Amino acid sequence: MRNRYRGFATFNMSAPRVRQLFVLLILGTAVLFIITGLFAMVQAERSVHSSLGRFTAHFSTETLLYMMGGEIPYLTSLKEVAENKPRISRMLFEAVTSVDPEDPRSFLGSELPGFALFDTEIAVAGEGVDYTSVPIESSPPPDLEQKLKERDATEEKPKKGEKEEKPASAPDKKQVFIYHTHFTESFLPELKGTDNPDRAYDNHENITKVGKRLGQSLENLGLGSEVSTKGYDVGWNRLYQASRERVVTAMKQNQDLKYFIDIHRDSQRREKTTQTINGETYARIAFVIGTAHKNWEKNEQYARKLHKKMDQLYPGLSKGVFRKSRAMGNGEYNQSISPNSILVEVGGVDNSFKEAYRTADALSKVIAETHFQATPVDARPGSGNQ
């Protein structure tokens, strides 16, 4: 109730109507928070890139922790934050320019093509690998992309006079599914009429041939494989969605599938993608793990096993294991489907099919040995009673 006391208006806070008003206000605030939270969750599920993520991605770790410390006091007590308390001027500078004054790479990242690669994290570095060697995911120029979409999205058949090798005795189970999200990625030495790395794409002479070679080699080693060389009648930015649907379909049709390998071609140049072993040149390999799903560490564990085995059998052939978030591309790469789902870059724009085939044979041996080492002896090919 409202009263006046010495010229001031006073309210009786214990009055029933006031208490009801406060209860309604509190309940309304709670409902508002719940609705806002649900809306934010829905938007997070739908959105590939969140504005907040893009905004905070450019802050240094110390700055981000310090800012969060305003709401979570514990964070400001952390040693790395307490000892490196950012100045207000630095925080404003980072917010406006997306540049970390203490990281020289960020000065150049937005100006030099490809320099933003430092956002990729090197989980395991192969021989001679640094941030200038990390895999680059690039798309064809718009005019070329339109031509590439004209390919019939059907299974690629061997050309006349081109024989498809088949193992003498194919394994009963198909446990490896090989596919190609960026199925038109090609190699300049195999293309006529261009030496432009930005145009190293083709509807027929492309990375799918490397996937077929990998599948054949695996079959020869006793590990059954299924290879999809089909195209996708969608734009470049929807290819991962299309390839995911294909992987899911394959899983439904064959429950024996255990390994899912997406074969790509790197956009790096020859000096970064070639290794000589015993006098022969190979297209170097890179294992890419997307961190945009909760179980990515299991995928990385499998990639680390393959890298380690490859380093034992073919020293220097693997460039290593690389982590990529949504800031560097798709960020998930269909890897939430299975802990044994990986993306493999085989060679770069300047490598040849011969070099990529040697690498496919090497990778098949690595995959097979890793698989059979984890398989009971009685379940291995040829391990039955003699």
304-361 pLDDT, tens per residue?
999 999 999 999 999 999 999 887 778 899 999 999 999 999 999 999 999 999 999 9
What does the pLDDT look like over 61-80, one tens digit per residue? 455 555 555 555 544 454 44
Name the token pair of 179.
Answer: 């596919």
308-311 contacts, C-beta under 8 A, 24 or more apart: 309/366, 309/369, 309/370, 310/285, 310/362, 310/363, 310/366, 311/126
Provide CB contacts within 8 A for 361, sequence distance 6+. Answer: 213, 217
- Angstrom distances, CA of residue 339 to CA of 297, 329, 344, 354: 8, 20, 15, 31
Q: Is the pLDDT of residue 44 over 70?
A: no
Q: Is the pLDDT of residue 169 over 50?
A: yes
- Please state the pTM of the whole predicted model: 0.68
Task: Say if residues 326 and 53 touch (Cβ distance below 8 Å).
Answer: yes
Locate the domains of the chain by residue range: 19-109, 120-153+171-374
Provide the CATH topology of domain 120-153+171-374: Aminopeptidase (3.40.630)
Name the token pair of 342.
Answer: 């990986």
- How far is Cα 230 from Cα 208, in angstroms, rounded to an integer? 9
Tell which wins on pLDDT, 169 or 141. Answer: 141
- How far is Cα 311 from Cα 296, in angstroms, rounded to an integer? 22
- How far is Cα 246 from Cα 23, in angstroms, rounded to an integer? 54
The rounded mean pLDDT for the chain is: 78
For position 72, what pLDDT does the model report?
Answer: 52
Q: How deeply is 254 buried, as exposed, middle or buried, from its count of CB atoms within 10 A (0-12, 13-18, 19+)?
A: middle
Sheet (strand 341-346) strand order: 121-125, 318-324, 285-290, 341-346, 259-264, 174-179, 224-227
For the segment 238-265, the average pLDDT, to the nearest whole number, is 95
- How far is Cα 222 from Cα 368, in angstroms, rounded to an integer? 8
